[in-house]
Amino acid sequence: MRGRPIIRNIVLVSLLWAAFVQGALATGAEPAKDVKADPTPCVAAISSGDDDKIIGVCGELLDHDKLAKPDRIKALIARAGAFDRKQNTVRAIDDYDDVLRLDPTLADIFNIRGELFLKKGGRPKALADFGMAIKLNPDHAAARANYKALALELERIGALMAVAGKPSFNCKTARRAVEKAICANPELADLDREINAMNVRIIGEARNYEDARALQREQDAFVARRNAEFGRPGYDLRKAMKDRMQKLVGVDGY
């Protein structure tokens, strides 16, 4: 999903600027009354494919306060695409913001801005932009794909958050002092759940029944030792749990 924004930017800019180029050439025989407002240099910069030139030349055009709305939109889109290709996501988003203020009906721009928000980690804003693109154009394939993928990711994150701070066992039925200590500490609770999940995964991938049984005996021995030694002088529960997790990770081959 994140490898396609640049391609879509180029295609979109090419389509939008086709009419711009024709308009500029049609008036080329007439002397411009205001050189700064002439879109031709910006058109030439786009044709050159030089992003620095696009940013500079089209930026000068955008500084003109009497620039026509359609030309301003096209120049903003061109500069935003150049900023995006130069990895200046914040400036690209700023330009797309201006485009959508001028014309809030552009589904393609909502989708592209959503991809940039996603690149910055702004999932809620990205989802809203993808949704708006679909609302404006229900057949927008890219927006629909982006929305679906992000919605699934957010669902997965929500599931992880639902178990955050909860161990592998039920704290309501915890009786041992060590279990109560784990339940009272979110970090230890997460670590306990991760140890259990990793152990289950390793056992599930064991080559045979004997290997699986041996792995489970190791886990049972760790739990028994943890239960017996918790509270004794010098026993560090956090260290013991981290050591167990490290051993499991090593077994898993990472």
Residue-level pLDDT, tens digit, the chain, 254 residues: 545 555 555 555 555 555 555 555 444 445 444 545 788 899 999 999 899 999 999 999 999 988 999 999 999 999 999 999 999 999 999 999 999 999 999 999 999 999 999 998 888 899 899 999 999 998 999 999 999 988 888 877 776 677 788 898 999 999 999 999 999 999 999 999 989 888 888 888 888 888 888 999 999 999 999 999 999 999 999 999 999 999 988 754 43
Q: Residue length, the chain?
A: 254
Same domain, 211 and 135: no
Q: Round to whole Å and give the CA distance between 42 and 205.
A: 60
Phi–psi pair at 126, nearest 5 degrees: -65, -45
Q: Is residue 192 part of a domain?
A: yes
Question: Where among 142, 161, 180 does a domain terminate?
Answer: 161
Same domain, 31 and 132: yes
Same domain, 52 and 101: yes
User: How many domains in the chain?
Assistant: 2
Same domain, 58 and 79: yes
Q: Round to whole Å and give the CA distance between 243 and 230.
A: 15
pLDDT of residue 14: 55
Same domain, 126 and 181: no
Same domain, 120 and 39: yes
Please tell me whether the overall predicted TM-score, pTM, comes out greater than 0.85 for this model.
Answer: no
CA atoms within 13 A of residue 109's CA, in its CB half-sphere:
24
pLDDT of residue 206: 83
Same domain, 179 and 202: yes
Same domain, 57 and 149: yes
C-alpha distances in Å from residue 174, one per residue of 180, 183, 195, 243: 6, 8, 18, 23
- Within its chain, how far is the Cα of 180 from the centroid? 37
In terms of residue numbers, what domain contains 122?
5-161
Q: Is residue 111 part of a domain?
A: yes
Q: Round to whole Å and give the CA distance between 105 and 101.
A: 10
Same domain, 236 and 144: no
pLDDT of residue 38: 83
pLDDT of residue 12: 54
Phi–psi pair at 174, nearest 5 degrees: -65, 130
pLDDT of residue 32: 45
Q: Is residue 91 part of a domain?
A: yes
Q: Round to whole Å and give the CA distance between 183 and 35.
A: 71
pLDDT of residue 1: 52
Residue-wise pLDDT for 118-175, tens only, equals: 998 888 899 899 999 999 998 999 999 999 988 888 877 776 677 788 898 999 999 9
Residue-wise pLDDT for 27-42, tens only, equals: 444 544 454 578 889 9
Interacting residues of 62 by C-beta distance below 8 A, sequence separation 6+: 72, 75, 76, 79
Relative orientation angle of helices 69-85 and 107-119, to the nearest 10 degrees: 30
Same domain, 144 and 196: no
Phi–psi pair at 236, nearest 5 degrees: -110, 105
